[in-house]
Amino acid sequence: MEIKDAVQQTVTFAKTSLGPKRASALRLEEIDSSTADGRPVWLITLSSDLPKARSPLSSFSPLAVTIGADSEREYKVFAVAKDNGDVLSMKIRLLAVPTF
């Protein structure tokens, strides 16, 4: 499966499984090639808006700025089989803090 098709499959899966509120304003963040249980997969990271219950200044937190992340977004990694496009898993993406 081509990357473009895998991304579209992932977006469709995210909208269906997460629902309209949690899948609002989906944004492609990363694509990586890997294996899962010996099977070739695309690891596709999508982000979406979080509910607006936070402070309007929360996205300017020092940690968010340091790691280049938007604290008003939720990040998820999807493993998509390269052979048939099945979404094999969806996991919460924890952002790593860089070491200097």
64-94 pLDDT, tens digit each = 555 555 567 889 999 999 999 999 999 988 7
Number of domains in the chain: 1
Identify the weakest region by mean pLDDT among 11-25, 54-68, 77-91: 54-68
Q: Which amino acid is at 55?
A: S
Give the three-class secondary structure for 76: strand
What token pair was written down for 26?
A: 């989906």
Question: What mean pLDDT comes out for the span 16-21?
Answer: 91
The pLDDT of residue 70 is 57
97 within some domain = no
52: domain CATH number is 3.10.450
DSSP symbols for 12-61: HHHHHHHHHHHTTT-EEEEEEEEEETTEEEEEEEEEEEPPTTS-TTGGG-
Question: What domain range is 24 assigned to?
Answer: 3-92
Does position 54 have pLDDT exceeding 70, yes or no? no
